[in-house]
Amino acid sequence: MIRGVSGLGPIDGGKLASQGVTDLTPEEPHEAGVPERVADPSHEEGARILADEAREKLSARGFTDEQIREWAETYIAQEGSGDVDAFVAWIATQEHGNG
């Protein structure tokens, strides 16, 4: 089960965690209709670390380093924190208009 940033409950009711995220589109957040946000200075390092940790998984799906960085910055600016699985599930949710 993927837990929300607060750790109190699943982001998506556990649906993405149980079925796996298979349908990501390599694009930048704004191309998916998600306003890009820059993490504030206190969260920039967290966004960089998350991008680094997710790079292998997302680059295998066709994402460029710049796309990964922009998604990570937007995710951290919006959600505050999270792990790679929650991040990837969040991208899928955003791309499919459920966010």
The chain-wide mean pLDDT, for the chain, equals 79
Number of domains in the chain: 1
**Residue 69, domain extent:** 38-99
Kindly state whether residue 56 falls inside one of the protein's structural domains: yes
Indicate whether 57 belongs to any domain.
yes
Q: How far apart are CA 51 and CA 87, in angstroms?
A: 9
pLDDT tens, residue by residue, 35-72: 777 777 888 999 999 999 999 999 999 999 999 999 99
Q: Which two tokens stand for residue 28?
A: 């930048």
| The two three-digit tokens of residue 95, written as one number | 């791309």
- Does some domain include residue 23? no
In a domain, 47, yes or no: yes
Alpha-carbon span 12 to 16, nearest angstrom = 7
Residue 3, pLDDT > 80, answer: no
Inside any domain, residue 68 = yes
In 3D, which of 89, 13, 37 has the Cα closest to residue 58?
Answer: 89
